[in-house]
Amino acid sequence: MNTKNRNPWLWIPSLYTAEGIPYVIVMSVATVMYERMGLSNSQIALYTSWLYLPWVIKPFWSPFIDMMRTKRYWIILMQLVIGAALGGLAFSMQLPSYLQWSLAFLWLMAFSSATHDIAADGFYMIALSPSEQALFVGIRSTFYRIANIVGQGLLIMFAGTLESHYKPAIAWSVTFCVTAVLFLLLFFYHARVLPRRAADHASKDVTCGNVLQGFFDTFVSFFRKPQIVVALLFILLYRLPEALLVKICPLFLLGKLDTGGLGLSTQDVGLVQGTVGVVGLTLGGILGGFAAERGGLRRWLWPMVLSITLPDAVYIALAYFQPDGLASISVCVFVEQFGYGFGFTAYMLYLMYFSRGESSTAHYAFCTGFMALGMMLPGMVAGYLQESVGYLNFFIIAMVLCVFTFIVASLVKIDENELEEVEAADETTVKE
């Protein structure tokens, strides 16, 4: 079948849904699943934070994707592997050594998902004309958000419904089995509808040696950029409070009242954080994009800094009062996520701003790798910190650490003339 002129509407929505779901499962759904399986907060935060590693080191193997087969091939293969990993995860949940097996399959899913990201974003650039790329950038972002709602919302709510009738191991086994079937369907679908482009081919004239040399030269040039120390501090510390909160907040919502948690059910967490929270995050991101387009990063930097930090205080209020009304909890989570979405815009724009110039694509990839590292390292200790001080004091500490966000924001220098080009750039491969 000739797929050269395949309508982008047939594959872009499904492709970016497929890109988002495994990331959400690895980063968010796994946290809830392990809590329901009885692991401690310190174990959950440590184990799941390690799963960021493939996205940290993704820039190191991305050049080799171009050398071996086509991007279309890698997309389809990774979707098959992700489906297989989900199937393995489903069957491992009821084993006595489920923890070891489930982590192994989550690791496989994480590496496959990171590789899928490389191939999908590269395929997007070569399969579409510049005008089509501009047209569909909002579409791909929308369906990535939908994937977040499917993963954090619907999947968790589905597992929670099953938990009311079966043991958690059975409930999550069925949930991952359903998701595995979904991914196998995506695999067969994309194998049929993804277009074949002449530009999508392996780089035969490129050898491993000159790839390594080119990578080394690009890596060195990245660390020779002006203000590199300030930039790395900004990338690593701007999201420090959020890096701590992201692992603990779902555990706090699920935690028993006598431990300082809110005692929500799995279904409630899926609704509050996976649906209401994601909607708030999306709306905040959209508003942040409009604001930055009109006023620029220099004008909106500090409002966005305040937006990504001050709403964290809602968790202090929730931990102190421990409300039992789902509506009030939902409002608090919405406010925090809306603020995070709005404030995250400054972060994305700065990454693009700093990556400008020669080798901008590769430098942007390095930035996103450090971004993932900035989320991974604090997350690894978040559980130990929370267990040591309790939920209320943990949220107070996270709020105090917002001072680092203010410090690094005060250090960055933005050239307004250079920024105009950045603000017109396509915001593509960044993950929350």
pLDDT for 296 equals: 76
The SS3 call for residue 424 is coil
Alpha carbons 293 and 287: distance in angstroms, whole number: 10
Tokens 């009109």, residue? 294
Amino acid at 261: G
Alpha carbons 261 and 320: distance in angstroms, whole number: 10
pLDDT for 89 equals: 96
Alpha carbons 11 and 23: distance in angstroms, whole number: 19
DSSP 429: S
Q: 107, 104, 114: which is closest to 55 by C-alpha?
A: 114
Q: Where in the chain is the domain with CATH 1.20.1250.20?
A: 7-204, 207-421
Cβ burial, residue 97 (10 Å; 0-12/13-18/19+): exposed
Percent share of the chain, pLDDT over 90:
59
- Give pLDDT < 70 ranges for the chain: 1-5, 66, 134, 138, 202-208, 415-432
263: left (phi over 0), alpha (psi -120 to 50) or beta: left
End-to-end CA distance of the chain: 37
Percent helix / strand / coil, the chain, rounded to 5:
80, 0, 20
What DSSP assignment string belongs to 257-269?
A: GGGTS----HHHH
Alpha carbons 430 and 411: distance in angstroms, whole number: 23
pLDDT for 4 equals: 55
Q: 107, 19, 424, 364: which is closest to 225 by C-alpha?
A: 364
pLDDT tens digit sequence for 205-249: 666 677 777 778 888 888 998 889 999 999 999 999 999 999 999
pLDDT tens digit sequence for 247-258: 999 999 999 999
Q: 207, 217, 246, 210: which is closest to 378 by C-alpha?
A: 246
pLDDT for 146 equals: 87
What Å distances lie between residue 294 and 162, 288, 289, CA to CA? 47, 10, 9
Alpha carbons 54 and 161: distance in angstroms, whole number: 32
Q: 147, 432, 138, 137: which is closest to 308 by C-alpha?
A: 432
Alpha carbons 351 and 364: distance in angstroms, whole number: 7
Fold topology of 7-204: Growth Hormone; Chain: A; (1.20.1250)
Alpha carbons 308 and 303: distance in angstroms, whole number: 9
Q: Taking the alpha carbons of 94, 99, 105, 106 in that order, is the dihedral positive or negative?
A: positive
| Widest Cα–Cα separation across the chain | 64
The reported pTM is 0.87
Q: 64, 65, 57: which is closest to 208 by C-alpha?
A: 64
Tokens for 352, please give them.
């693009």
User: Which residues are CB-neighbours of 288 under 8 A, at least 6 positions away?
Assistant: 300, 304, 307, 341, 342, 343, 344, 345, 346
Options 3.40.50.300, 1.20.1250.20, 3.20.20.140, 3.20.20.70; which CATH number does 207-421 get?
1.20.1250.20
User: Which residues are CB-neighbours of 341 under 8 A, at least 6 positions away?
Assistant: 280, 281, 282, 283, 284, 285, 286, 287, 288
pLDDT for 361 equals: 72
Give start and end residues of each alpha helix (H) in 40-166: 41-50, 53-56, 58-65, 71-92, 98-127, 130-148, 156-163
